[in-house]
Amino acid sequence: MPFAIALFLDERSDLIVRQIWAALDDHYVTSLGRIANSDYHPHVTLSVFEHGDTEQLLGILHPIAQQTVGLPLPLAALGFFLTEEAPAFLGVIPSSRFLSVHRAVHDAIKPVVDGIWPYYRPDALLPHCTLAVGVTDKARVIDVVSQFTLPIDALAASAQLVEISGGHKRTSLTTT
């Protein structure tokens, strides 16, 4: 079962992204928040991989994850990945601190996980907060998102280890 390591947004930024999700839904673009049987929260993913031992990962990642609380995640641009899933996203301006944490996460997990997804590896990541998938009308998404003020000065509130199947079980990597 795949796992993700995700940074969840601070309360204010979470609310703004949820407002964008609702506006997209109102304009017939299915947001990430509206996908059936999901419990998505606005987030920025640091890694996705196929297999790993949860207990071992929690021990390895806890000290690194503490560095993520308060990490700036400025959501500054609207973008689209030109893949089969056709997602729309808000792009993060990655700081050197963000890139350092991202590399530290990957250096720590590389020996103990299998199947790290290529787009999440260091030097390949385009950090982003997904708004919608299956986008067929990019102009509509642009119109909706342009009603909101960017950048959103988001901060990481927590780091989570997420099981990406069924209920999207989350385990906090940070202490609050």
How far from 87 is each of 81, 129, 137, 149, CA to CA, in Å? 6, 10, 11, 20
Please determine, for residue 137, whether its predicted confidence score (pLDDT) is greater than 70: yes
Q: Please tell me the pTM assigned to this model.
A: 0.93
Q: What is the pLDDT of residues 39-84, one digit of tens each?
A: 789 999 999 999 888 889 999 999 999 999 999 999 999 999 988 8
Note the pLDDT of residue 119.
93
- Bigger pLDDT: 35 or 78? 78
Those residues with Cβ within 8 angstroms of residue 52's Cβ, 6 or more apart along the chain or in another chain: 3, 109, 112, 113, 114
Confidence band of 37 (pLDDT split at 50, 70, 90): low
Q: Which amino acid is at 94?
A: P
- Map out the domains of the chain with their CATH numbers: 3-172 (3.90.1140.10)
Please determine, for residue 33, whether its predicted confidence score (pLDDT) is greater than 80: yes
Q: What is the pLDDT of residues 11-32, one digit of tens each?
A: 999 999 999 999 999 999 999 8
Distance CA 92, CA 128 (A): 5
Give the pair of three-digit tokens for residue 128.
């982003």
Q: What is the pLDDT of residues 75-119, one digit of tens each?
A: 999 999 988 888 999 999 999 999 999 999 999 999 999 999 999
User: Tokens 């009603």 label which residue?
Assistant: 147
Confidence band of 167 (pLDDT split at 50, 70, 90): very low
